[in-house]
Structures are given as C-alpha cells and as structure tokens.
C-alpha cells in the first residue's frame, strides 16, 4: 500500500508543522527516550461542517462532518439540539456513511448503457452528452405520448424539501407525472385517514418519556428507531411498563416487561379483544367517545349510512354542510350535531352510545337508527379472549391482563410500527388500535396517543413556492399503478396517463430492488422507452438504466430537512465538493429543463438552493406558521425547533380547543382531507359504499390477503421482511464496517421446528419461494422466530444473495379497494402490504454454501438477515 503510506507520511508532516510538539509526540520517530509518549490532542482537519444525515429513515440526525483534504475523515453527531433530551441522536449507520461517500461503489461520471438493460455494461459519458440524450428523449416521448407518460420517482420528499422538491418542480413545469413514496412504501397507515382524516399524526419521540404504559405493536424501535428509543428507557426508568407485541422476538422484545407473540397479521383481533375487555369491565372513557368521536352519531338501519339532519327536516339547501344526529335517551329526542365544533352532542353527558331508536321525522315515518358505537360494540363483543387466542395464538389470560393493565395506566401510548401496518388489511389493524386508544381516552394527551411510526413522510413546512412554481402542481400518480397498471377500482381522480408510462426518471431510490412484487415491475420496464437513474452508488436499479447520472450525496449539497419524530428544522450543508463529476438534483433538473425549454428554465429554474429555502421559510413564516420567525441565518447556526407545541402532540387543537377533525396535512389543502371524515369527528364507523360492501364499516379483523393467493396448506410460512437494524432500506447494504459486524450476507430467521421439518441447519443455504418469485439466502435458526414465519430483513442488494433479486421477488403489490375510496396522493392512496406474503423454504445444494467463508471465521448464522 505505498499510496497509503505516503498519505500517512504527508498527514504526519502536516500535523508536525501545525500541532507541533503535541501531535509530534505520536508521530515523530526520533531517538527513543525512556519516556513513553502519551498522546495529546487530535490531528487537525481542514474544517468541520454541521449538516444532517439524510437516508430514508425518520432521523435527519444532525451530524458534524470532519473534512481533511476534501475528504470526510469522520462523521459524528452534532449533539447540538437546544432540547438536550434529543442529544446526541444518530446511529452507527450515519456515523459510517463516509465509507460510501468515498467508497468503491460510488458513481463518478455520467454513464451510457452499452449492453443489454440490466447487464450493468456502461461507458462513461460527458454531462453534455448524457443530458442532451435525456432531454432529447424526454421531449420526444413527451410530445409523442403526453408528458404525463414520463414518471418521475423520488423517495420521501419530507427528508429533503429542496433537492427532492426539484423533482416536483420539474414535473410541475413540464407536466410529467410524479410518483409517490409514503403509500408505495406501505408506510401510509390507512387507519389514520380513515379514522382521523389525516395522513398520519404521531407524538414526537420525546413524548414517549411521559408515558406510563407503552404498548408497542409490530414496532421495533431498538433496531429501527435507534436515535429515539432512549425516550422509552426514560419512561421505563420512571416506572412505565413496556409491552411488545411482535410475532418475532426482536431487540425491543428483549427489553420488554412482557412480550406477546401473535401469529403474523392478527394484530387487529388482539386490539378488538382488548377493547372488548375494557368495555366489558366498564373501564371505557365514554365522555371521550361522546365528545370527540362519531360514537353517538346515529346510523340509519335501512341504508347503513349516517342519519343527517336533512333526512329529518325538509328544505335544507343542497349545498349546506351536512349536520348529523345523536339521541338524547332521557328526553327521547334527536340532537342535531354540527361539524364546526367538537364536544358531547347537546352538551349532554348521557347522549346515547347504543340502542335502537326511532327518530321522528317531519312529515313521514320515523327512521330506525342506532348510534355508531352500537355497531362498533357488536363487532367488538365477538372478540372474547378465547376467540382472540384461537385467532392470534396469544393466550386468553394475557389478553385479559393486558386489557386490565392498559386501562389502569394513564397516559398510555400505543406505538404501532411497520410490522402491524404493512398488511393488505393494515388499515383495519390501525382502526382497531385507534379504537383502543380512544376508548381509554388517551388521544391528544401527552404520554398517550396512538402513533404509527413507519416511514418519513411529513412535510412540516410550506413547500408550495418551490414544489408548485406559479401555483402549478405536478400530477401525482401512486407508484403502485406504475408497477402493476391501473386497477378496476382505481379512484377516478388518479391522473393515470392516457398513454400509459413510457419513461422513468428514478432518483433517490433503488426502485428495481425495493418495489413490491419486483418481478412484475421488471415486466413493466420492458414497455419503457427511456430509463434514467440518478444515484451516487452503483445499485441494482442503476444497472437497469439507459442513462445514469452521478448524484451528490447529502454531504455534498444543500437542503432543508425536518422530520416527524423530532420537530427541528435543519439545514443540510455541503461538507465537501461533489465527488467525481457528481451534481445535485437541482442542478441536474435545471440543465434538463433548460434543454427542453430554455425560456421555462430561465423563468423558474434560475434559482439556487438558498433561494429555494428562503422562499419556503417565507411561505410558512406568517403568524402561527410552522416557520414563523425562522431565517436561513438561524438555520446556519444550528437546528431550530419548529413553531409547534412542546411536546408536539397531535390533535391538541381538537381535544383541547374542540376544533373539528382533521387538522391539515401538508401540503394538501384542508378540504381534500376533510372529506375523509365528514362528521368532523374521529370516525370508527365508515359509511362510504365500499366499506359497507366489504363489511368493514367498523374496525374488524380479516385474515391476511395472501392466504387467499397462497393457500397456507401449501405455503406454510409467512415471509416477514422487516427493516433491518443494519440498513436504511437498501442503503448501507455495502457498508464495509457494518458488514464486518453482521457478516455481510442475507440470512432468513427460521424457527427450529420449521427448520428441522425441512432438514435445514443453521447457516445452510436455502431457497425461499412462492408463485411470484424466489431467492437463495442462508438460514439462521433460532427460537427468536415465531413458528410458521420466515424473516428476511429487506434491503439487501441482490449481489449478496445466492440467487434472485431479493425479498421483493416474493412480496405482493395487491391493492386494497378500501384504499381507493378517496384519493389524495400519499394520504388516501394504496398502501403496500409487504408482510402479507406467504412462502415455502427448502434447502439448496451445498454448492452455494461454498461461497467463501474463510477458515476460522465466525460460523454462519447469528447475523443480521
């Protein structure tokens, strides 16, 4: 390694010159004295830059980049949050990202495909050539098939408003269709818009510390919320109880006071069983139900729809807002319930929550109706502890004790994660746990609440001046329709391109590995005339591109970030010059748009990141706005807490100030999401026709959808593909330090009984398959696995498998029609059910096993999957 030695020498000389005797003690050779040298001081750097980490987690952890010779030599948490409880944040992945910034998989120049698609054969090209080719092809395709036939995919704009926003800006300007991520990632908890009318709303992580009881459902913060999990320990240290519900013994289960192990996909049944116990013991907070939910609102017996004032009284204008009806049992008369203010109907603490009533009507027969909550109670009552045990496998006694313990502690928080949400019927699970939180009156309380933590989505500032230039919005098409085409039940408002999709520009994403049902996506790709991938690493997706543009990493560009979990606005600042010839997305789109329409570019893209940030800050800077009083200079100095309550708790305005649901979900206008909950209340009863058709008007439990596609008798294992502790999706797959720890090859966690039945031993190469696809990986046999589960954490690049593209060969892209009842992109939109997936596992021949484990190395197994 002569180069390295020279570098060392050079570093040494520089240090000697600068730090003098102090550092020289470490370095200078000289004559050895009897005195030992005690090291003093650190080697100097050229600069330290405060910026943020920015992969697709919800972290946005503040980091310091230490730069020497234009290379990052250390990344460490800035630990400078004004709220000390948040320090230091950051995890081992972010701390090691410089290995990828300067790593062997980095793309340094534009590339043009020379071999077949997917062959990975490219030649380097100049920016001029690559941009000309892209602009030319896009213009041809746009003019021939319509601009919306060009699909621009970019992950999670919430984690970088400016660079990812450049995608939206370009789409708005040219009319290209933009993809979605929050729903596509399966992270959109459909129970939230259905129940609360919001995209999602969760307590900031700091508020976990205020809880007395933490019920974690399919959530594994020890492995997937590393920067925040300590807030749970703060609560536990103050005596809070921690209960974890997970079919697999996770790192979080290891910390729990109790761990319940349901069969995968049966969480809703557990929640309903808990609610039943609480209702049966009179422990329900009926005042909460009356004041904030649709529980007292009457539902017509004939139509199954809510009884409205206009059903009872003639002559109400057609465009007047709906008013609903409750029942006063004492006076035996209806109470009209408006939607402008919450509170118990008529201010009555006794308004009916159940019972069959006949509501008199002017000039007609009485209408038979029943309070919504009666319907809820009917469904809930079916979930006796014994039935819950039969369905979930959780012992009836545990259901009884958990219900008692949960109802006894206030505030009690429900933290739901991807494990419970990533199901075809994840919406029902969400609705059931929201119900549990509501019947115990925990919503809108510090330390309580029902929060779903999956994915980075939340737009916390007003991005409209940047994303929607001149008020023009990009047409947004859920990317699931890009993967599988339109569905018969697709909502008419979805702007699906008339000519279908003809081109793809993929940014910030490893889409061809990380889409559900990835083999189907690869079929779709055949119809594309152009695939452009913008990335900084040679990922699986890049290998399929026609033209590759080298992107800067987040350490080489400017952006603005804020996250759901910690409400700080932060600046991402370039620590080093772009590596190789890489460019930022803003710069790339500016050049592409300029080539297509110079005038448009001159008018709208002659703007730099700082100016974009200024405009965003200004737009939300009005009184009460999220960025009120925040300037770019503040952000340069460090993180600034957004103008939100402290702690940041959703629905405060509703619970405290009795404002109607929903609060606004940025960036959509309030009217768009208010249509999800027309009562202005928390809705446990849904009256839209499709809910009624499918029998899902109240929270219930449905068997996993894939059981109908893969008969459990033939496909006995549920394939779970959770987030890995070692990766953020597919990012960090190739991180050398992390691979040193976990062994760098995909393992599938199997229960010893399941393994033995298939003659599989720990470390054996195995094939995992179903009708959609197959892969080869290695078995990790442990009792940590639930019986009947196979767990392969998602995100491994395909090159680490024995065969196959990865776990998404097997996952499903089925769309739940309930998710198509309304349409607001990323808010009421098809959410992917990654874990709703069955498979079978078998041992493969020893040939794969030979894949080089050196003598003396750690035995296989016992590593991450």
Of residues 744 through 763, those in contact with another protein by CB under 8 A are 744-745
Site string for another protein, 231-270 (x = CB under 8 A): --x--xx---x-x-----x-x-xxxxxxx-----------
Q: Choose between 444 and 806: whose C-beta lies nearer to another protein.
A: 806
Q: Is 712 in the site for another protein (CB under 8 A)?
A: no
Residue appearing with tokens 């198509």: 820
Q: Stretches 281-289, 396-404, 468-476, 676-684: which one binds another protein (CB under 8 A)?
A: 396-404
Alpha-helix runs per DSSP H in 225-343 = 230-237, 267-280, 286-292, 309-312
Q: Stretches 335-343, 478-486, 582-590, 850-858: which one binds another protein (CB under 8 A)?
A: 850-858
Compute the distance between CA of residue 535 and CA of residue 540 in angstroms, rounded to an integer. 11
Question: Shortest approach of another protein to residue 661 CB, angstroms?
Answer: 33
- Residue list 635-664, contact with another protein (CB under 8 A): 638
Question: Shortest approach of another protein to residue 530 CB, angstroms?
Answer: 34
Q: Is 784 in the site for another protein (CB under 8 A)?
A: yes
What are phi and psi for residue 368, nearest 5 degrees? -75, 130
Q: Helix, strand or coil for residue 333?
A: strand
CA distances from 102 to 25, 91, 185, 576 (A): 30, 19, 28, 11
| Torsion angle defined by CA atoms of residues 284, 240, 404 and 194, in that order, rounded to the nearest 10 degrees | 50
**CA-closest candidate to residue 716, choices 759, 762, 755, 747:** 755
Question: Shortest approach of another protein to residue 792 CB, angstroms?
Answer: 15
CA distances from 502 to 139, 525, 542 (A): 12, 9, 18
Question: Shortest approach of another protein to residue 446 CB, angstroms?
Answer: 21
Q: What are 766's two structure tokens?
A: 């195995």
Q: Is 553 in the site for another protein (CB under 8 A)?
A: no
Q: Is 320 in the site for another protein (CB under 8 A)?
A: no
Question: Shortest approach of another protein to residue 107 CB, angstroms?
Answer: 16
Q: Is 42 in the site for another protein (CB under 8 A)?
A: yes
CA distances from 27 to 14, 15, 35, 148 (A): 11, 9, 15, 62
Of positions 13, 20, 40, 708, contacts another protein by CB under 8 A = 40
Q: Choose between 66 and 481: whose C-beta lies nearer to another protein.
A: 66
Compute the distance between CA of residue 674 and CA of residue 67 in angstroms, rounded to an integer. 49
CA geometry: angle 312, 683, 834, nearest 5 deg: 145
Q: Helix, strand or coil for residue 157?
A: helix
Whether 311 and 336 have beta carbons less than 8 Å apart is answered as no
Q: Choose between 157 and 763: whose C-beta lies nearer to another protein.
A: 763
Q: Is 230 in the site for another protein (CB under 8 A)?
A: yes
Q: Stretches 230-238, 418-426, 551-559, 618-626: which one binds another protein (CB under 8 A)?
A: 230-238
Q: Choose between 744 and 761: whose C-beta lies nearer to another protein.
A: 744
- Residue list 51-90, contact with another protein (CB under 8 A): 64, 66, 69, 71, 73-80, 82, 84, 87-90
Compute the distance between CA of residue 461 and CA of residue 161 in angstroms, rounded to an integer. 9
Question: Shortest approach of another protein to residue 813 CB, angstroms?
Answer: 30
Q: Is 595 in the site for another protein (CB under 8 A)?
A: no
Q: Is 862 in the site for another protein (CB under 8 A)?
A: yes
Q: Choose between 277 and 515: whose C-beta lies nearer to another protein.
A: 277
Question: Shortest approach of another protein to residue 761 CB, angstroms?
Answer: 13
- Residue list 405-434, contact with another protein (CB under 8 A): 405
Q: Classify strands 717-720 and 789-791 as parallel, antiparallel or unpaired.
A: parallel
Q: What are 419's two structure tokens?
A: 């494990």
Q: Classify strands 838-843 and 324-328 as parallel, antiparallel or unpaired.
A: unpaired
Compute the distance between CA of residue 153 and CA of residue 165 in angstroms, rounded to an integer. 12
Compute the distance between CA of residue 59 and CA of residue 570 in angstroms, rounded to an integer. 12
Q: What are 572's two structure tokens?
A: 């991402």
Could you tell me if residue 592 is left (phi over 0), alpha (psi between -120 and 50 degrees) or otherwise beta?
alpha
Compute the distance between CA of residue 816 and CA of residue 811 in angstroms, rounded to an integer. 15
Question: Shortest approach of another protein to residue 346 CB, angstroms?
Answer: 40
Q: Is 435 in the site for another protein (CB under 8 A)?
A: no
Of positions 65, 98, 441, 469, contacts another protein by CB under 8 A = 98
Q: What are 260's two structure tokens?
A: 């319940």
Of positions 142, 193, 218, 743, contacts another protein by CB under 8 A = 743
> From the centroid of its chain, how far is CA 189?
9
Of positions 313, 349, 670, 858, contacts another protein by CB under 8 A = 858
Q: Is 92 in the site for another protein (CB under 8 A)?
A: yes
- Residue list 126-145, contact with another protein (CB under 8 A): none
Q: Is 47 in the site for another protein (CB under 8 A)?
A: yes
Question: Shortest approach of another protein to residue 80 CB, angstroms?
Answer: 4
Question: Shortest approach of another protein to residue 659 CB, angstroms?
Answer: 36
Q: Is 803 in the site for another protein (CB under 8 A)?
A: no
Question: Shortest approach of another protein to residue 234 CB, angstroms?
Answer: 9
Q: Stretches 94-102, 280-288, 407-415, 470-478: which one binds another protein (CB under 8 A)?
A: 94-102
Using CB under 8 A, count the residues that bind another protein: 112
Q: Choose between 653 and 849: whose C-beta lies nearer to another protein.
A: 849
Compute the distance between CA of residue 820 and CA of residue 829 in angstroms, rounded to an integer. 6
Question: Shortest approach of another protein to residue 281 CB, angstroms?
Answer: 16
Q: Is 226 in the site for another protein (CB under 8 A)?
A: yes
Q: Helix, strand or coil for residue 602?
A: helix
- Residue list 764-783, contact with another protein (CB under 8 A): 780, 782-783
Compute the distance between CA of residue 651 and CA of residue 450 in angstroms, rounded to an integer. 11
**CA-closest candidate to residue 865, choices 756, 728, 723, 759:** 723
Q: Choose between 124 and 744: whose C-beta lies nearer to another protein.
A: 744
Compute the distance between CA of residue 160 and CA of residue 164 in angstroms, rounded to an integer. 6
Of positions 1, 317, 498, 846, contacts another protein by CB under 8 A = 1
Compute the distance between CA of residue 631 and CA of residue 614 in angstroms, rounded to an integer. 7
Question: Shortest approach of another protein to residue 100 CB, angstroms?
Answer: 9
Q: Helix, strand or coil for residue 594?
A: helix
Q: Is 108 in the site for another protein (CB under 8 A)?
A: no
Q: Stretches 7-15, 350-358, 542-550, 702-710: which one binds another protein (CB under 8 A)?
A: 7-15
What are phi and psi for residue 22, nearest 5 degrees? -55, -60
Question: Shortest approach of another protein to residue 253 CB, angstroms?
Answer: 8
**CA-closest candidate to residue 344, choices 384, 288, 397, 303:** 288
Q: What are 214's two structure tokens?
A: 């933490």
Of positions 113, 723, 729, 742, contacts another protein by CB under 8 A = 742
DSSP annotation string for 513-543:
HHSTTHHHHHHHHTT-SEEEEEESB--HHHH
- Residue list 715-734, contact with another protein (CB under 8 A): 725
What are phi and psi for residue 28, nearest 5 degrees? -55, 140
Helix axis angle, 372-381 to 267-280, nearest 10°: 110
Q: Is 50 in the site for another protein (CB under 8 A)?
A: yes
Q: Choose between 208 and 828: whose C-beta lies nearer to another protein.
A: 208
Q: Is 705 in the site for another protein (CB under 8 A)?
A: no
Q: Is 280 in the site for another protein (CB under 8 A)?
A: no
Compute the distance between CA of residue 326 and CA of residue 374 in angstroms, rounded to an integer. 12
Question: Shortest approach of another protein to residue 843 CB, angstroms?
Answer: 18
Q: Is 37 in the site for another protein (CB under 8 A)?
A: yes
Q: Is 43 in the site for another protein (CB under 8 A)?
A: yes
- Residue list 508-537, contact with another protein (CB under 8 A): none
Burial group, residue 62, by CB count within 10 angstroms (0-12, 13-18, 19+) = buried
Q: Choose between 257 and 646: whose C-beta lies nearer to another protein.
A: 257
């Amino acid at each position: 390694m002569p180069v390295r030695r020279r570098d060392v020498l050079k570093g040494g000389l520089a240090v000697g010159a600068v730090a003098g005797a102090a550092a020289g003690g470490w370095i200078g050779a000289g004559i050895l004295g009897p005195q030992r040298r005690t090291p003093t001081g650190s080697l100097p750097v050229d600069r330290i830059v405060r910026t943020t980490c920015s992969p697709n987690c919800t972290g946005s952890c503040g980091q310091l980049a230490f730069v020497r010779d234009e290379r990052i030599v250390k990344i460490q948490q800035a630990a400078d949050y004004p709220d000390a409880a948040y320090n230091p944040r950051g995890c081992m992945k972010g701390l090691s990202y410089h290995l990828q910034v300067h790593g062997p998989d980095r793309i340094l120049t534009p590339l043009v495909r020379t071999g077949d698609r997917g062959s990975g054969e490219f030649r380097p090209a100049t920016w001029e050539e690559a941009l000309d080719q892209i602009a030319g092809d896009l213009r041809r395709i746009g003019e021939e098939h319509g601009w919306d036939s060009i699909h621009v995919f970019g992950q999670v704009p919430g984690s970088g408003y400016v660079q990812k926003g450049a995608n939206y800006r370009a789409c708005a300007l040219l009319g290209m269709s933009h993809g979605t991520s929050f729903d596509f990632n399966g992270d959109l908890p459909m129970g939230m818009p259905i129940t609360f009318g919001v995209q999602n709303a969760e307590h900031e992580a700091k508020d976990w510390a205020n809880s007395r009881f933490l019920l974690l459902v399919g959530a594994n913060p020890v492995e997937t919320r590393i920067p925040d999990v300590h807030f749970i320990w703060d609560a536990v240290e103050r005596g809070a109880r921690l209960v974890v519900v997970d079919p697999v013994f996770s790192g979080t289960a290891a910390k729990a006071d109790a761990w319940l192990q349901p069969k995968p996909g049966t969480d809703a049944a557990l929640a309903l069983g808990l609610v039943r116990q609480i209702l049966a013991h009179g422990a329900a907070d009926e005042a909460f139900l009356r004041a904030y939910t649709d529980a007292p609102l009457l539902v017509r017996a004939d139509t199954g729809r809510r009884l409205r004032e206009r059903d009872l009284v003639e002559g109400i204008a057609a465009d007047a807002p709906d008013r609903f009806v409750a029942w006063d049992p004492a006076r035996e008369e209806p109470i009209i319930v408006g939607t402008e203010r919450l509170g118990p109907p008529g201010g009555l603490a006794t308004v009916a929550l159940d019972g069959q009533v006949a509501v008199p009507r002017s000039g007609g027969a009485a209408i038979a109706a029943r309070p919504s909550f009666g319907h809820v109670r009917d469904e809930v009552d079916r979930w006796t502890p014994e039935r819950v045990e039969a369905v979930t496998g959780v012992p009836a006694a545990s259901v009884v004790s958990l219900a008692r313990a949960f109802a006894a502690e206030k505030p009690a928080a429900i933290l739901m994660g991807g494990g419970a949400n990533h199901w075809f019927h994840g919406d029902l699970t969400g609705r059931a746990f929201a119900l549990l939180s509501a019947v115990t009156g925990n919503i809108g309380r510090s330390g309580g609440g029902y929060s779903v933590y999956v994915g980075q989505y939340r737009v916390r500032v007003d991005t409209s001046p940047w994303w929607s230039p001149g008020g023009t919005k990009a047409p947004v098409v859920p990317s699931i329709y890009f993967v599988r085409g339109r569905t018969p039940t697709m909502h008419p408002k979805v702007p699906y391109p008339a000519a279908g999709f003809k081109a793809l520009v993929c940014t910030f994403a490893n889409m061809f590995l990380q889409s559900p049902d990835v083999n189907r996506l690869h079929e779709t790709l055949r119809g594309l005339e152009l695939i452009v991938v913008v990335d900084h690493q040679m990922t699986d997706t890049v290998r399929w591109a026609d033209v590759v543009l080298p992107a800067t990493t987040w350490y080489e560009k400017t952006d603005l970030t804020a996250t759901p979990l910690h409400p700080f606005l932060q600046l991402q600042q370039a620590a080093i010059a772009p590596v190789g010839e890489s460019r930022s997305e803003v710069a790339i789109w500016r050049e592409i748009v300029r080539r297509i329409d110079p005038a448009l570019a001159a008018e709208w893209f002659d703007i730099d990141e700082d100016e974009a940030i200024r405009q965003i800050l200004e737009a939300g800077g009005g009184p009460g706005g999220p960025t009120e009083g925040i300037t770019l200079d503040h952000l340069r100095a460090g993180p600034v807490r957004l103008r939100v309550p402290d702690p940041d708790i959703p629905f405060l305005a509703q619970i405290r100030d009795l404002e109607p649901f929903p609060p606004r979900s940025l960036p959509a206008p309030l009217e768009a999401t208010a249509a999800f909950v027309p009562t202005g209340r928390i809705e446990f009863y849904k009256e839209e026709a499709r809910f009624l058709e499918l029998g899902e008007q109240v929270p219930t439990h449905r068997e996993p959808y894939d059981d109908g596609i893969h008969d459990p008798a033939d496909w006995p294992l549920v394939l779970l593909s959770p987030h890995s502790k070692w990766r953020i999706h597919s990012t960090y797959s190739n991180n050398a330090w992390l691979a040193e720890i976990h062994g760098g090859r995909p393992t599938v966690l199997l229960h010893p009984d399941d393994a033995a039945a298939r003659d599989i031993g720990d470390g054996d190469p195995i094939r995992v398959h179903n009708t959609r696809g197959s892969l080869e990986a290695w078995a990790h046999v442990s009792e940590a696995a639930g019986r009947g589960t196979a767990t392969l954490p998602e995100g491994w690049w395909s090159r680490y498998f024995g065969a196959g593209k990865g776990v998404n060969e097997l996952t499903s892209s089925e769309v739940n029609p309930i998710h198509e009842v309304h349409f607001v992109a990323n808010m009421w939109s098809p959410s992917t059910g990654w874990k709703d997936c069955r498979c079978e596992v078998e041992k493969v021949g020893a040939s794969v096993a030979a894949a080089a484990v050196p003598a003396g190395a750690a035995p296989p197994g016992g590593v991450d999957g």
